Amino acid sequence: SAVISQKPSRDICQRGTSLTIQCQVDSQVTMMFWYRQQPGQSLTLIATANQGSEATYESGFVIDKFPISRPNLTFSTLTVSNMSPEDSSIYLCSVGDGVAEHFGPGTRLTVT
């Protein structure tokens, strides 16, 4: 399966600032997704990153807060904007193979 990397692996940020998380895949993929995993919780889908068009956001998530870019078939970014402590979480990107999804290692974000 595809090898997925994320940068940064972790960060501590001040409230009101923004952080951009990068997701790089070692092969071209059609489906890329961004998830949030809050401490002790399961995964919540934020959006589907579409190549060449706007991301498709799930209920409760908006583009102004979580802008996503997908410039090509191997790369995507998720920005967490105007952060608050409630945004402290693990952010994961994944790629779909038509059946299952394969996840990156995650970015652990702490907002102080």
Residues of this chain that interact with another protein (CB under 8 A) are 1, 4, 31, 33, 41-43, 45, 48, 92, 96, 98-106, 108
Distance CA 91, CA 43 (A): 9
Smallest separation (angstroms) from another protein to the CB of 90: 8
Nearer Cβ to another protein (56/72) = 56
Smallest separation (angstroms) from another protein to the CB of 23: 11
Nearest of 109, 58, 112, 51 to residue 77 by alpha carbon? 51
Nearer Cβ to another protein (75/103) = 103
Smallest separation (angstroms) from another protein to the CB of 96: 8
Helix (H) or strand (E) holding 9: none
The region, left, alpha or beta by phi > 0 then psi within -120 to 50, assigned to residue 74 is: alpha
Smallest separation (angstroms) from another protein to the CB of 59: 12
How long, in residues, is the chain? Answer: 112
Nearer Cβ to another protein (58/69) = 58
The Cα-based distances of 25 to 6, 17, 48, 57, 63 in angstroms read: 9, 27, 15, 21, 23
Nearer Cβ to another protein (60/98) = 98
